[in-house]
Every structure is written in structure tokens, then in C-alpha cells.
Amino acid sequence: MTGPAQSGEDLYAGLDERQRYELDRRCDYHPPKNLETAEAHARWRAAIKVVMAEAMRSLPAGRETSMVLTSLDDALMYGNAAIARPPMSGGRKVGH
């Protein structure tokens, strides 16, 4: 299977401006803009780590516990993405 990236075509061909922005927002690396952003990532990681440690301590081994830990991995990833990525065009305000 070949797409624009493999065939040398323009990656953005056929996409409107909103779609181009969304593609970049979702896929590009977004390094911390400043110390405040880096600290927000650290706080989020620490909060998830507390909950994950409690799950490891108090839940019995099994499929459901494994799913809890996987869900917390997902929450960590999505939280960091929410901090790192620029806002969606026309997206919700913080806290919604």
C-alpha cells in the first residue's frame, strides 16, 4: 500500500486548511513550550502514577486489573497529548 508519503506526492493534497491543521495537530511532535507546560506534564504523570500504584497494590491479579492498568496508560497518553497539542480549531475551552 502506498500513500502520498511513500510515493513522493504532497502529503496535504486534497485536504482543506482545517484538515491540514488537524493532521499536523494530531501527528506532529509538540515539545513543551515553556517550563509551565513541562511542569503540567510532570503533574499529570505523577497523578496517574499514584492511581496506578494503588491499583497494583489493591486489585487482584487478573484480566480486569490488567485492563485498569491499560486504561491508565491510555489516560496518561491522552492527558499528555491534551497538554502538548495545540487546541482543536473550534474546540472546547479548558475544563469542558
pLDDT tens for each residue of 17-49: 999 999 999 999 999 999 999 999 999 999 999
How far is residue 63's CA from residue 42's CA, in Å, rounded to a whole number? 29
pTM comes to 0.74
pLDDT for the residue numbered 94: 61
By the 8 A CB rule, do 33 and 87 touch?
no
* Residue whose C-alpha is closest to residue 76's, from 58, 50, 95, 96: 50
Q: Which residues of 54-74 are buried (b: 16+ CB within 10 A; e: fewer)?
A: eeeeeeeeeeeeeebeeebee
